[in-house]
Structure 1
Amino acid sequence: MNSFEVDTLQYEAGSGVKMAHLLLVDDDPSLLKLLGMRLESSGYRVTTAESGDRALALIERQRPDLVLSDLRMDGMDGMALFGEIQSRHPGLPVIILTAHGSIPEAVSATRQGVFSFLTKPIDRDELFAAVRQALAEASPGGESHLESDWRQPIITRSPAMEEVLEQAGRVADSDVSVLISGPSGSGKELLARALHRASSRAAQPFVAINCGALPDQLLESELFGHTRGAFTGAVSAHDGLFRAADGGTLFLDEIGDMPLALQVKLLRVLQERCIRPLGSTQSIEVDVRVVSATHRDLQTAMTQGDFREDLFYRLNVVNLRLPSLAERPEDIPLLARHHLELAARRHRPSVRRFSPQALNLLASHSWPGNVRQLINVVEQCVALSSAAVIPHALVARALASEESSLPSFNEARSGFEHGYLVKVLKITEGNVSQAARIAGRNRTDFYKLLARHELDPATFKPAPTS
C-alpha cells in the first residue's frame, strides 16, 4: 500500500488514528458481505445496511466518511437515498453502484452531485480508486472532513441549526469568547461541548457551572477557589473551576443570572488571565477559554442595570443563537427516534418505534420546553410502553403529564419572586420604601426587581375615598 492510500485511509484525531468509515447499502445480503469483506481487508471500517431507510438511520447515529449504494433497491432506491443524504448531510460523498449502468444514467447522477457511478460487476482497482478519490476530495490534504465528529451528538437536518453549527466550526479553533443564546432546554451546553471537542483544547478539561444555581459567595468560591479559613466552613483550600479548567474550556451557563459583584471579578479575570482565590493575596495565571450561555435578553438586562456592558462585550465576541425546537420542526422526528433508541437501550429494549399517529402528534406539538421536554416525553413513553410500537394515546398522556409537571429551577425561582413582590406590595399598599425595607433590598434594586416582573407599585395603592 503506497503512502497516498495510507493517508486516505486514516487521519489524525486527537492522539489516535481513525480509519475511514464507509457505509455500504444494498438489498442483496450476499453482495453486501462480499463487498464489505473486500473493503475491510484493505483497512477501511465498514458498516452495512440492507435498505435506504436503515442507511439514513445509521447515518444519523454516526455519520460515515463515504456512502456506497446500489441503484436498484426495493423501497427507497439509490438516487432517492442520495437525495435524502444531500438534503440532511450536505458534503457527504456518495458512490452509486448498478448492474444496469448506462451513460445517460451516469451523466444524470453525476450532474445531481453523485461522486461516482460504477457498473457491476465492480472492478476491484476501479472501486478502490473511486473510494480513495472520494475520500481525498472530501478531505483536502488527507484530513477527513469528518473531523466533524465534534458535532455528531447534535441531531439535526434543520437549515437554521446547520448555520449555527457552521459558525461554531469556524470559530471553534480560535480562542475568542463565545456567547450561546437561546431558550431554556434548546441544547446550549451540548453546543458548548461540541465547540470544545472541535477546538485545539479538546484533550484538556471541559468544566461547566450554572451561574444561577448557587448563592453569591458559594459561586465565587466555586469559580475562583479559596484558601483555608477564608470564610466560615472553609476547612481546607479549594482550587476552583478556573484552575480545574486550565488549558481547556470553562462553560458558564445562565451567565445572565450572575450577581453584579461577581461580574466585576469575572471581567478582571478575562482581562488579566489571572484569578485571586478568596482569602488570598496572590494572583494565579490561568489559560482558559470561556464559553457562556443565557436564555435571558442581555441587552435588556444591561439597560436595566442587571448586567455589565463591558462584560457583555467581552463575552459576546461571537454570538451563536440556538433556535427553539418550534423553529426547527423538521428535527422533531429525528430527535424523537434517536432518543427512543437511547431510552430503549437503557430501560426497555423491546420498544422499537413510534406509530405514525404518535410521531405526527409529537411533530405538531409546540414544545415550550424545547429538546429537554421532548427527551422527557420520549423517556416516559418508553418506560410506560407495553408494546414494541408506542401508540398515539401514550404520547398524548405523556404530553399532558409533562405540561402539568414541576417547573424548572429558574421558572420556580421567578414565580416565587413574583409572588413575594406582590405580597409585600399588598402589605405596604404600594409604598416602595417600606416594601424594599421588608425585602432587605435598597430602593434601586427593588425597582429593578419590579421592572423585571412588570409590577407597578401604583396599582397596589388604596383607591381614593370619595
Structure 2
Amino acid sequence: MAGAHILVVDDDEDILRLLSMRLRARGFRVSGAGSAEEALARLAVDPPRIVISDVRLPGRDGLALYEEIRATRPSLPVILLTAHGSIPDAVDATSRGVFGYLTKPFDSQILLGKIDQALQLSAPALPVDASVGSGGGGRSEDWQDGIVFRSSQMAELMAEARMVAASEASVLIRGESGTGKEVLARAIHRASPRGKGPFIAINCGAIPEQLLESELFGHVKGAFTGAGNSRVGLIQAANGGTLFLDEIGDMPLSLQVKLLRVLQERVVRPVGATHSEPVDVRLLSATHRDLDAAMAQGQFREDLYYRLDVVSLTLPRLEERREDIPLLAAHFVHLIAAKYGKSITGFAPDALEALATAAWPGNVRQLYNVVEQSCALTSTPLIPLSLAQRALRVPAMEALSYADAKQRFERNYLVQLLKLTDGSVADAARIADRNRTEFYRLLQKHDLTPAMFRSDGDAVAER
C-alpha cells in the first residue's frame, strides 16, 4: 500500500504537521487541510484512499464532513480523531458508517492498523488526471479500455466498479441515454473473474415481447409457428460469463417473472421445453427510467428490482463532468481520424471551448457524433469553430455565471472551471463572467488555490 494517498484534516497546524510527517515516514502520500471546506475542495481535485479528520473543526465539524463525503463517495473510508471522545460519540459515529474513531492522544500503531484495514477494504481511487483508452495520455489498463476521464466523479465511479467487479453481485447501472452504460458494463465484465467468458448484451426495449422471450430463453423446435429448429437463448449463450440487459425497465411483466426464476434458481427453460437447464451467469442491467416510479405504477416487479439492484452505479451526465470533454474529444478524434484515413490533430482552441461549454442532452454519444461529423467535413488538421458549431446544431452555450449558480454548488462550479482551464484564473474568471479580483475572493472563500489544478506541478499542493 506504499504511496497511497491520505487526506488529513485538522485545524491545529502542529498536529497536522506531526501526523503528516508520521504518515509520510511510512511511505504514504499525504495532503493536509485545515477545514472541512478545504478538505472537500481537495477531495474534488485529487481523491484520496482514506480521510483522517479531527471532529472539532471550524465551521462544519468532522461528522458533517463525513456525511457529505458519504453522499458522494460512499466507498471512501473516513477515520475520525477527537480530544473530546466518549463512548456514546464513538457508537454514534460508527453506527453512521464512520470506518474508525480514535481519541487523542492515540497510539500511532492503532491508527496505522486502522489505515491498513481501510486500504485492504477500499478500491484504489484513480488519479484525477487519469485518461484511459487509446486516446488518453495516461497509463491504460485493459479492463478500462475506451473509458476516458479526468473528473473526480468518474474516478470514484471507476474505483467502485473495480471493487464490485471482483464479486458476483448483480449490478444496476443508472444513467441518462448516451452516458455509456454498456461501456461500463463491459469494463466490469473484463475486470471480473468471468472476464475470459462471454459477454452477451441485449436491449430489452428494442425487441417485441414475443421475440424478446425467444431471444433470452431460447426455444425448442415447433414451440411456435416458424420455429423450425431449436435455438439456444442468450442467457444460455452467456453461460460462464456475463449477461447485460440494457433498458431493463422496458422488459414486459410476463418476462420479468421468468427472469426472476432464472436469478433465484439458476436454471432456464426454453420456450416450448418441458424441462429446465442449469445456467451460470452474472447479470448486469441498466436503465434510464425511474424504477421506483415504475414499481409504484405496477410496471416493474419489486422482487425482481431487489435482485437486480444489489449494487447500484450511476453514470454522470456529460454536463456534470465538463473537464472530461477535451479528453473525450481528443480520444474520439484519434479514433475517427484513423477510421477515415485523415491527418487530424484535434480542435482549434475556440472550437474546443465551444464543445466544453455546449449543452449535451445526448451526453457522450452526442459528443462522439459531433466529433465524427466535424472530422468528416474538415479539410484542415485543426477542426475550426464553424464546423464544431455546425455539428452542435445550436449556438454555443455560455457557461453559467456564478451569480446564477446555487450556493450549495458554488464550490463544485469553481472546481469545474479551474479544472477546465488547467488552473488559469484569467480564463476561469472570463468564463464565469467575473473580474479576477472578485474571482480570487471566491476561491479564497472555498480554500481553493490555482496551483491545485495546474498540470505543470503536483496535482495538490501539500501543506
TM-score by length of structure 2 reads 0.55
Equivalence for 2:179: 186
Equivalence for 2:399: none
Alpha carbons 1:348, 1:382 under 8 Å: kept = no
Amino acid at match of 1:369: G
d(CA) in 1 for partners of 2:350, 2:371? 15
Alpha carbons 2:345, 2:382 under 8 Å: kept = yes
Equivalence for 1:360: 353
Equivalence for 1:158: 151
Q: SS of the residue aligned with 2:312?
A: strand
Equivalence for 1:308: 301
Equivalence for 2:343: 350
Q: CA separation of 1:319/1:402 partners in 2, compared to 1, >3 Å: closer, same or farther?
A: farther
Equivalence for 1:325: 318
Q: How far is the alpha carbon of 1:223 from its aligned partner?
A: 0.4
Equivalence for 1:101: none
Amino acid at match of 1:321: T
Q: How far is the alpha carbon of 1:325 from its aligned partner?
A: 0.4
d(CA) in 2 for partners of 1:269, 1:329? 40
Amino acid at match of 1:238: R
Amino acid at match of 2:216: L
Identity %: 60
Question: For residues 125-204 of structure 1, what are the structure 2 equivalents within 5 Å?
Answer: 148-204=141-197
1:369 paired residue among 342, 351, 362: 362
d(CA) in 1 for partners of 2:355, 2:245? 32
Equivalence for 1:419: none
Shift >6 Å, 4+ stretches: 86-91, 144-147
Amino acid at match of 1:218: L
Q: CA separation of 1:89/1:156 partners in 2, compared to 1, >3 Å: closer, same or farther?
A: farther
Alpha carbons 1:326, 1:366 under 8 Å: kept = yes
1:223 paired residue among 207, 210, 216: 216
Equivalence for 1:378: 371
Summarize deviations over 1:371-422 as a string: whole Å, max 9, x none: 000000000000000111100000001111899xxxxxxxxxxxxxxxxxxx
Summarize deviations over 1:206-253 as a string: whole Å, max 9, x none: 000000011111101000000011011111100100111000000000
Summarize deviations over 1:136-169 as a string: whole Å, max 9, x none: xxx99xxx99894311321011111111111111
Q: SS of the residue aligned with 2:360?
A: coil
Equivalence for 2:291: 298
Q: CA separation of 1:260/1:369 partners in 2, compared to 1, >3 Å: closer, same or farther?
A: same
Q: SS of the residue aligned with 2:232?
A: coil
Q: How far is the alpha carbon of 1:348 from its aligned partner?
A: 3.8
Question: For residues 381-396 of structure 1, what are the structure 2 equivalents within 5 Å?
Answer: 381-396=374-389
State the superposition RMSD in angstroms: 2.4
Equivalence for 1:338: 331
Q: Does 1:235 align with 2:228?
A: yes
Alpha carbons 2:247, 2:287 under 8 Å: kept = yes
Q: SS of the residue aligned with 1:207?
A: strand
Q: SS of the residue aligned with 1:328?
A: helix
Summarize deviations over 1:49-76 as a string: whole Å, max 9, x none: xxxxxxxxxxxxxxxxxxxxxxxxxxxx
Q: How far is the alpha carbon of 1:88 from its aligned partner?
A: 7.8
2:199 paired residue among 186, 202, 206: 206
Alpha carbons 2:389, 2:395 under 8 Å: kept = no
Q: SS of the residue aligned with 2:214?
A: helix
Q: SS of the residue aligned with 1:163?
A: helix
Runs (5+) with no aligned partner, structure 1: 1-85, 92-138, 404-466
TM-score by length of structure 1 reads 0.55
d(CA) in 1 for partners of 2:323, 2:268? 45
Q: How far is the alpha carbon of 1:338 from its aligned partner?
A: 0.5
Q: SS of the residue aligned with 1:209?
A: strand
Question: For residues 225-264 of structure 1, what are the structure 2 equivalents within 5 Å?
Answer: 225-264=218-257
Q: How far is the alpha carbon of 1:90 from its aligned partner?
A: 8.0
d(CA) in 1 for partners of 2:293, 2:243? 25
Question: For residues 398-437 of structure 1, what are the structure 2 equivalents within 5 Å?
Answer: 398-400=391-393
d(CA) in 1 for partners of 2:48, 2:228? 56
Q: CA separation of 1:89/1:346 partners in 2, compared to 1, >3 Å: closer, same or farther?
A: farther
Question: For residues 7-46 of structure 1, what are the structure 2 equivalents within 5 Å?
Answer: none
d(CA) in 2 for partners of 1:175, 1:325? 29
